Structure 1
Amino acid sequence: MDTELEKISKICMNTTDFEALTGNIVKDLVAAAMKYPLMTETGPVIGLTELRAALNLGPLPPWRHRNVTKPSEQELGSASTLEEYYDLKEPKSKMRSLDSWWLLEKNMAPAVVYFDEHFPAIRKIFRGKFKKIREEGVKDRKMVDRMIEEYSAIKEKVYKAMEKILNNFDKKSVNF
């Protein structure tokens, strides 16, 4: 995992790449402005998609307003299915909510396509880790908790790789 992310972190992107990341709906300076939220949120979206798939859950739910309160022990205890339990615990982000100042839900689909084409190792890393955990035991709350912990650890490593790419950005490619 670390070797793949190290390779990714050395990539130097330019404005054309960021335009593609947005699905070519904006150009140049606007695409460059969207690079940070898209580069930092797409990895987590891929990770959560793979996490849900490993648990045989449906796709990511539509964006909602962000609820910053953590579920209580009583709420967690009263979840009658593994999916209800997971839904209470699924990691959230303001950037991936209706409260985002930068992104709309529809901005994520082209970014995911871009990542799958240019950084396929990210999906492979998440999928491989979750598959390994899934094969190790019974699908229960402990497994959900472990997968969420692994998701968080991988997400941080992916985030660091994306930060390095953002620092490698070819600033000469932006037309001011």
Structure 2
Amino acid sequence: MEARVVTSFREISPADDDKMVIVLAIDRHDGLVDLLRSFYQAGVLTLLITDRDINLPPDVCDSRTTVSADKFVETVKDLVTPIFNNGMINLDFNDQSITLRNTSKFVVCTADARGGDSRIADAVASFPGKIPDRKHVERMLWSITHNRKLNPPLAIKEIAPITEFIKSLPETIDIVWGVLIDDSLPGDTVRLSIIVAGKEL
């Protein structure tokens, strides 16, 4: 994975081996549309993160989200971390692509769960208010991440709140999920992340 910081959007163009580009933009700068379109038309998964709603043509990126500028780094990390962590059920770039390609809009939600039997339920309970319009969710990528020495261990029955949450979404939704290991997490923490995408979000 490579990250580049540029002072002008004209300084960067797609390479033959590029699979995904995440563009961070504050306001609509000169060259933004051309930059996005160059990657999008090259078949690169093209994602845009802005700090405000920017009026753009429909054919310039696969999907976009709006977050405050101080959340840019966190949002990028939440997007890419699941596809670089291994675990019991791995996620990869293809899962990311299936979830986000040609979806127009996406939202990333992450919650750290601690404690006993209710930890996953508590994390899931924080998600509904972060998703603008659940009836328009088309695709979703779930990742459940924890330290390999998680204590207490994750129990199957703890997953029930996730199932109930999914039942509140459209029946036609496409869901990808993984269970991942990240030993940088505290030993009592389960990190629950979802990437939600849809054309009308």
**Comparing both structures, which one devotes a greater share of its residues to helix?**
1
Structure with the greater relative contact order (CA < 8 A, sep ≥ 6): 1 or 2?
1
Task: Using structure 1 for the length normalisation, give the TM-score.
Answer: 0.26
**Comparing both structures, which one devotes a greater share of its residues to strand?**
2
Task: Using structure 2 for the length normalisation, give the TM-score.
Answer: 0.24
